[in-house]
A and B are shown apart, each in its own frame.
Chain A
């Protein structure tokens, strides 16, 4: 004679199978395919992050068309400056030269060269009031060649 499994145990077992089964079903459907590709996260997120558009084209892109300016710059103190530091983000312009960079995004000289006690001593700084009473730095200085006189 077979030992009879009590009905309450059968019901518990069925319930357990149901819970584990629904968990496994939900996991099968809801886990993204790239989950655990690199770790406990969605590997696909890395690809999505890379697909974003950029705003700054980088100095190499500027040099493709404006190599004359870059060469001039390379002979003077501002040789390490990025074009887009002063001229503003230019990826739209690099993609399509007809789109011009907004001149209001240009950075002015004083942003870097106004005297401030927190600035390191090696950096050239001026106190505007005592330096020049006029309005334009470019009357005496060439931004692309600071040591030249216009």
Chain B
């Protein structure tokens, strides 16, 4: 055996082994250094996302359009100034049908000044022409089949195991595909970070046992929030499903929203 081993091949094999021994720890160090970029600091790790399923539900019959939710969301999440909202309120005004028409309803007017953050001015048509009018709070619809997640080319947006649809700001390249894909208009490109932003269900609050900011400040319990995996039968979220006939927005798109509305009209989109 030793006779068949030439000086040349022995030296070659020895140097290859040496290089391998030297390169393995170096590669490990290099890998750790590269991956450190993706790893966060000492955030609490006592929360298991697979043990929760957060949902929100909205009872439109209770909304008084004060806009506190939209304002609280903006403050809590440091949403940029200007027409950028993670949650907002729309006012639907359905007019009476014209006197000479035989229609049941008139036209639908939707307005949303400043996302409803500072309340609503006088109605867009004189009061005697309004058939009826109501407020609809809007936010991420928490789709089961999220179009925004499907179109992301870099895997930056995802359905978290606990029900929130989130964006990884370190991965987002700001291409804006998701903004076009969301049929509910719930995303925007932040002029500050140049990445897409959306409702996170106040992920930093719900994982600490608090309610999302909009639910916290809502004075009329229009917004109901709960955890389907741990909710007791008397939990407000279970009561909501039990006591209301609910409806999702744009059901024909097959997005299967987990956000349900009670008391909305056929005009709501």
Contact = CB atoms under 8 A, between A and B. Distances in A.
A114 B218 CA distance: 17
Contacts of B68: 85, 107, 111
B119 A111 contact: yes
A64 B78 CA distance: 26
Interface stretch (B43-51, B224-232, B244-252): B43-51
A119 interface: yes
B116 to A, nearest CB: 11
Given A30-B34, A85-B219, A50 B204 contact: yes
A75 B156 CA distance: 48
A103 B135 CA distance: 28
Contact of A46 (B31, B64, B160, B217): B160
B208 to A, nearest CB: 8
A55 B75 contact: yes
A107 B66 CA distance: 10
Contacts of B64: 112, 119-120, 123
A42 interface: yes
Contacts of B38: 32-34, 42, 44
B72 A48 contact: no
Interface string B204-231: 1101101101001111110000000000
B177 interface: no
Interface stretch (A3-11, A76-84, A139-147): A76-84
Nearest to A120: B61
Interface in B38-93: 38-41, 43-45, 47, 49-50, 61-68, 72, 75-76, 91-93
A51 B47 CA distance: 12
B43 A47 contact: yes
B260 interface: no
A110 to B, nearest CB: 8
Contacts of A34: 38-39
B256 interface: no
Contacts of A78: 219
Contact of B200 (A49, A55, A118, A120): A49
B127 interface: yes
Contact of B76 (A50, A54, A85): A54
Contact of A52 (B159, B168, B204): B204
B133 interface: yes
B221 A42 contact: no
Contacts of A23: none
B26 to A, nearest CB: 12
Chain B CB count within 10 A is highest, among A34, A56, A82, for: A56
Contacts of A52: 203-204
Contact of B204 (A38, A49, A84): A49
B107 to A, nearest CB: 16
B262 to A, nearest CB: 13
6 contacts: A44-B38, A49-B166, A55-B213, A56-B216, A59-B216, A85-B218
